[in-house]
Amino acid sequence: MKMKNELLKKFAEVFGDNDNAKVFFAPGRVNLIGEHTDYNGGHVFPCALTIGTYAVARLREDDKLCLYSMNFEEDGIGVCTLSDIESKEADDWRNYPKGIVWAFAERGMKINKGLDILYYGNIPNGSGLSSSASIEVLTGFVLKQLFGFEVSNQELALIGQYSENNYNGVNCGIMDQFAIAMGKKDSAIFLDTADLSFEYAPIALDGAKIVILNTNKKRGLGDSKYNERRSECEAALAALQKKLDINSLGELSEEEFEANKSLIGNATKIKRAKHAVYENQRTIKAVKALKDNDIELFGKLMTASHDSLRDDYEVTGIELDTLVEEALKQEGVIGARMTGAGFGGCAVSIVKTDCVDKFIENVGAAYKEKIGYAADFYVVEIGDGPSEI
């Protein structure tokens, strides 16, 4: 409740009063295993976190959309009208909530009144824990609650992806929005991105914690390389389709891939496709390991995932590799891997609870010595999807 009261107080400072204002939350997410599989028709295994994005919102009597972020206070209140909702480069972060208003209207859910919205996120910017998807799902949830739209959380995820693809021009898969909209406390989501079938898998980390390690590297390279990896996988798939009746790399077993990989005819593209196929199978095996209560095997699969992202997919870089290498040297570490797009951002590890403090101290010191600046560490819990507080 302390957070709610502080946010309402800030809202009153910014917008004059907080009469009729309501407070909402949507989580960030981390993907435990299944990286760069979501656009290859494979499985992913993300979970929602208890850190995320808050919004204080209320309806206006006019058609103005007034958006303010405590994370970017220097920007002040950004104002646009509902009739002029075009994406503008100068609007920066505001294009995420604006895109959701646009996407609702595209689906026939017209927003007929303006809004005052204050945002506050405690997801580190640029960390790869999905602050953009969090603000999208949160804004969708705000619109659903304040206007009474009949829209499921799964539809909120699809609206978020649609908005990011078509309004923001980012060619993302469905995983981030889905994990945030459909989050469930103490469970990860085993999602088949080919058909959006999913199941919740309880994460029973008795005596262990999820620790996120942030490289603090400013990402710039990632977007162009991300699109390059996608096109390499698409080219590999097209070559395999000359012989195999498949729609995605995620349909192949390791054995089928090995028997047919020569069709691809390019060493780099073979490596990219190998990662997509093997990572999908690792994700399936990891969920089974959890069901069998074999957290040690789950950890080994996490580590194998990082090796593949480093060697076959080549999206890690010295910062992520250093964090993971140092993490794996520490006592009490069950597994570690990069998470997210790569080229910076975060790694995720599972560490025995009584070793967490020493783990953070040792990995932090080794990273700073090698890279020259500090990493940040977050011990996180798995939380629910969006809610009104």
Looking at the annotation, which residues are catalytic? Answer: 176
CA 345 to chain centre: 11
β partners of residue 20? none
219 CB-contact burial (10 Å; exposed 0-12 / middle 13-18 / buried 19+): middle
Rg (CA), the chain: 21
E runs forming strands in 306-374 = 333-339, 346-352
Q: Helix, strand, or coil here: 53?
A: strand
Query: How far apart are alpha carbons 345 and 219 in whole angstroms?
Result: 7
DSSP state of 212: E
The string of DSSP letters for 314-333 reads: ----HHHHHHHHHHHHSTTE
In whole angstroms, how far apart are CA 280 and each of 165, 179, 301, 308, 356? 24, 17, 11, 12, 29
CB within 8 Å of 278: residues ≥ 6 apart:
254, 257, 308, 312
Cα–Cα nearest to 260, from 244, 280, 272? 244
Write down the number of H helices and E strands in the chain: 11, 13
Query: How far apart are alpha carbons 222 and 151 in whole angstroms?
Result: 33
The secondary structure element, H or E, covering residue 388 is strand 387-388
Q: Helix, strand, or coil here: 226?
A: helix
Q: Are strands 115-121 and 64-69 parallel, antiparallel or unpaired?
A: parallel
User: According to DSSP H, which parts of 153-294 are helical?
Assistant: 153-166, 175-181, 222-241, 254-260, 267-291
The secondary structure element, H or E, covering residue 137 is helix 131-147
CB 9 within 8 A of CB 259: no
